[in-house]
Amino acid sequence: MEKLYSIVIPVFKSAQSLEILISKLEHISRDYKYRLEVIFVNDSPLELSTVATLEKVRKNYTYVKVLTLYKNQGQQIATLAGMSQATGDFVITMDDDLQHSPDDIPLLIQTLQDKKNLDGVFAVPNYLQKKHKLWRNFASFFLKKVDTIFLKKPKGLMLSSFRILTKDLNKLIVENHNAMPSVSSLILNATNNLISIHVKHHQRGFDKSNYSLPQLITLALNTILHYSSIPLRIMAFVGLLGFIGSMIFILSIIIRKLMLDIEIPGYASIVTLISFFGGLNLFALGLIGEYLIRVIKEQQKMKLPDLIKS
């Protein structure tokens, strides 16, 4: 029996691009004789034009499923919700804005088939060819560095929301997601059997990007705090250095007082030390607080199927 390919597409206010996108996927299915399961996850349930377009697409194509979330959850949760309902032998994720071309899907599939023991393949545009604004490209570059430092990303691997995963890896990610997920980070956390390939990056078909700078910063922060213990280790190291430094300072004061009979500076030294270590303690408490917030959210996390309207 032919392999089934599940294509998960989170949708947010993109009614204009959906019919073009499904038409391109239909051509790919016919030309390459792929057996497809296309899962649109509506992350804008109150956008009537999007709802109507998705319903039209669902009626016209038998292999299309439409999942509607109760409310806007963001791209990462929407993608995971779709992945949780995928039944294919392989799962492909892509955006709804036409910047990820369906024409590159055969290349993703062929790469995964040709390279043995791979769990996933990312389709990544060259940074110099990306059709984003300058600040967005810089933010993407920053996120890449975050992944390299905090997630120990394999050398040469680049991440993207356009990717193909094996069924087993998809299942592992869905069953082990957290309350504030990053799908790419979950993949890196699960396996190193990954590669990336270069594809063209296309201009958005309609509207503008739904990702703002604060959202990208939040994504980077979630990656750092959820998937790495490096910040806590850095604070522990800084705290140790501070403690050692304070011990040396106190010892020097005692020696100066007892052996050299030098008057101990009072006000300036005390205020400086209190300010420094007080600030350090507050910063450490703030960082610990960020972790505690995520622990609380983890306890409040809903199962992915519960987010989808029945």
DSSP-H helix ranges across 196-229? 213-227
Q: Taking a C-beta distance cutoff of 8 angstroms, is the pair 155, 192 a contact? A: no
Mean pLDDT across the chain: 80
**pLDDT tens readout for residues 154-196:** 778 888 899 999 999 999 899 887 777 889 888 988 888 999 9
pLDDT of residue 39: 98
CATH of 4-210, one of 3.40.1710.10, 3.40.50.2300, 3.90.550.10, 3.40.50.300: 3.90.550.10
Q: Which of 77-86, 212-221, 249-258 has the lowest mean pLDDT?
A: 212-221
Two tokens at 166?
Answer: 């094996």
The pLDDT value given to residue 303:
74
**Whole-structure pTM over 0.85, yes or no?**
no
**pLDDT score recorded for residue 135:** 46
The yes-or-no verdict on residue 310 having pLDDT over 80 is no
Whether 203 and 158 have beta carbons less than 8 Å apart is answered as: no
pLDDT at 286: 66
User: Does pLDDT of 228 surpass 90?
Assistant: no
Q: Find the angle CA(96)-CA(45)-CA(80) to the nearest 5 degrees.
A: 55
Query: 1-15, 172-186, 209-223 — which is least confidently predicted?
Result: 209-223
Distance CA 295, CA 310 (A): 29
**Boundaries of every domain in the chain:** 4-210, 230-300
The pLDDT assigned to 178 comes to 76
Query: For a pLDDT cut of 70, what percent of the chain falls above it?
Result: 64
Averaged pLDDT for residues 250-256: 67
From edge to edge, which strands make up the β-sheet containing 4-11? 64-68, 35-42, 4-11, 90-93, 163-166, 120-124, 194-198
Residues 175, 172: Cα–Cα separation, whole Å: 5
Using one digit for the tens of pLDDT, what is the confidence trace for 262-294?
A: 565 665 567 567 767 766 776 777 677 667 667
Of the two residues 201 and 9, the one the predictor is more confident about is: 9
pLDDT tens per residue across span 59-99? 999 999 999 999 999 899 999 999 999 999 999 999 998 88
Tens of pLDDT, residue by residue over 118-163, are: 999 999 987 555 555 554 555 556 666 665 666 677 778 888 899 9
